[in-house]
Amino acid sequence: MKFFNTKYFYCLIIALLLSTSGCLSLGPSTLKFEDSLAPSTTSTNQITSNITLEMFQDIRTKNKAPELIGGKQAGLGLPVNDVSVERPIAEIIHNEFRRELTNNGYSTNNIDENLTITGKILDFWIGTDVTALYWDVYGEVQIEIEIKNTNGKSIKIGPYYSKNIKRTYTGPSDTIMTKVILTSINEVIKKILSDNNFTNMIPKTTK
């Protein structure tokens, strides 16, 4: 027991040194998400001539401000600092979704009817669970999809949810937070594109 207490004490000292040595990102954070598409393709909603991807509506219940996506805590007993994004989250999700549609062959889709993909952002949040030794940084994303045609027919599918957690011993850096939330976004999009309700409305291109 004495050995365990000594080991625990030294771990606390190491954690304290890390938090005061610049390894820990203190204060509010603003995350930057680089476009995954070429600049010439980001200004249009058209996936192909008959498929349009609209910006999703942000209806998060946790939404206190358009750019606020969560909070991080530097350590036990310390205040929670805001985590924001440089661009609207609807734009971030739009670009990631558009990239995946293109990568999965939807940009060359030859379906007969004109379709519009839209949706609602139900959750997009970053947080930290803090202990004396480590931080668990988590990112949650939840999206609902609606597909509409020009005849007024529509289908709502979802919601789709993903949560990813990354444990760190040096604090919740911007890099870790960005990676965690991006992983959750991409997992949600993969769930959408693999859902039979989606592929029945917009079948994948076969070659």
Write out the chain's pLDDT in tens, 207 residues: 444 455 454 445 444 544 443 345 567 888 887 765 444 344 457 676 688 899 999 998 766 676 888 888 877 767 788 898 888 899 999 999 999 988 887 776 666 678 899 999 999 999 999 988 999 999 999 999 999 988 878 899 999 999 999 999 988 999 999 999 999 999 999 999 999 999 888 876 644
Q: At what angle do helices 174-193 and 89-103 cross, to 10 degrees?
A: 50
SS3 185: helix
- Tokens representing 113 are 């009817």
Instruction: Determine contact, residues 148/118, Cβ cutoff 8 Å.
Output: yes
pTM of the model: 0.78
